[in-house]
Structure 1
Amino acid sequence: MPTILCYGDSNTFGTAPMAHLDDDRRFGFGERWVEVMRQALGADWWVVEEGLPGRTTVLDDPIEGIYKNGLTYLTPCLESHRPLDIVTIALGTNDLKARFHMPPGDIAAGAGILVETVAKALAAFGQSAKVLLIAPPPILEVGCLADMFAGGAVKSRAFATQYEAVAARLGAGFLDAGSVIASSKVDGIHFDLPEHQKLGQAVAAAVRRL
């Protein structure tokens, strides 16, 4: 049975658009894009949902915790779920937080380090997996998260080009999520429920192409 690991942040976790900072609602199991993808692929696929709110590409978060660093947990996660056939990586939105001062090119480079880590970690066991690098959609600076992500909207509009270049260089598959969905106007970061549906279908199609 082919196995897919979906490695991401709160949008992989399924966090609903936040009306306020204490709003921690999560969409249901059958509603999140990862589950939509699984349903589209069919029962012959095993899907591991690995989303952590606040997860970055390769950055320790001094406010939310160093465990938010996506690089730190990736190798043990890969070892826990191997053998794997496909790994999707959808990270970078949290790197836009004002506290990090990261240009989009560096964020994309961080995502590239994760792609390379997949190959290195699995090679230690004589295994390999195809990687689908997903560029997050542009964000909006609105609502309760506007201050936290101040300056991030402009940077996020460069994600598609930067991520596609990284994917091409590393031989990974690529999906521009911004060509399929838009961030919610409620908080500018998370996805409304219809967007989860659209993204799940798009990722399933991209997985089939791999």
Structure 2
Amino acid sequence: MKSILCFGDSITWGYNPKDATRLPPEHRWPRILGEALGPEFEIIEEGLNGRTLAVEDSLRPDRGGLAKLPFLLESHAPLDAVIIMLGTNDCAPCYHLTIGEIALACARLIMTVKQSLAGPGGAAPTIMLISPPHMGELEPTIGLFYDGGQKLCTELAEPYRLVAESLGTAYLDAASVAVPDEPDGIHLGPEGQRKLALAVKDVIAPLL
């Protein structure tokens, strides 16, 4: 059996844009991915609300992905693949990040996986980087945190692609296949989750 770690934020966790609950497993993209790939694949869902690529926040502690990823790689090894989809939270204006800083954080995460020896036989797992969906019209409460970050979010796809290409990593632009649901403007509903899962499957399956 091959194992895939899906490392992400609230979209991977399955945050429901309708009522802020958690979507049932069958409506979350990692579970749908597993069903599409077949029974010979084990999917490890590692989504966390508010997770960033690397930045730490005293108001929402332990959300920096770079600090937590090494432990997860070791915990779940051996891993055949690691899929990283982060960046939405990094666009929040309170973090004051540039495109370059976000791209560098992506590169750091990829290198962490490459150097982890967490794959079968101590090799590096296959890696896939996903740039997040664009933000839509934000619900007022969510807008308190994210409003002003919409433009930065729309600019992530090309830097992510360049990072993935330079480091020999598979890549998908989630904004090309899925859009956030109303009313919150950030998270994917069941249909968006399904579209994302099937697009991920088309990229990752040939590599495994």
- TM-score between the two structures when normalised by the length of structure 2: 0.94
- SS where residue 94 of structure 2 aligns? coil
Mapped contact 1:56–1:95 kept (Cα < 8 A): yes
The amino acid of 1:166's aligned partner reads V
**How far, CA to CA, are the matches of 1:97 and 1:141 in structure 2?**
15
Identity %: 38
Mapped contact 2:77–2:118 kept (Cα < 8 A): no
Q: CA deviation at 1:60?
A: 0.3
Offset from partner CA, 1:140-192 (integer Å, 9 cap, x none): 25112112112211111111111000000111000000000012231111111
**How far, CA to CA, are the matches of 1:29 and 1:86 in structure 2?**
20
- Pairing 1:59–2:92 present: no
1:132 aligned residue = 128
- TM-score between the two structures when normalised by the length of structure 1: 0.93
Offset from partner CA, 1:96-152 (integer Å, 9 cap, x none): 112101122321221111011001122798321110000001112511211211221
1:40 aligned residue = 36
Unaligned runs of 5+ in 1: none
Q: CA deviation at 1:18?
A: 5.4
Moved over 6 A (4+): none
- Pairing 1:121–2:103 present: no
- Pairing 1:102–2:103 present: no
Moved more, 136-145 or 190-199: 136-145
2:150 aligned residue = 153
1:30 aligned residue = 26
- SS where residue 82 of structure 2 aligns? strand
- SS where residue 73 of structure 1 aligns? helix
- Pairing 1:188–2:185 present: yes
Mapped contact 1:30–1:36 kept (Cα < 8 A): yes
1:11 aligned residue = 11
- Pairing 1:78–2:48 present: no
Moved more, 173-182 or 10-19: 10-19
Aligned length: 205
Instruction: Note the aligned Cα RMSD (angstroms).
Output: 1.5
**How far, CA to CA, are the matches of 1:86 and 1:45 in structure 2?**
10
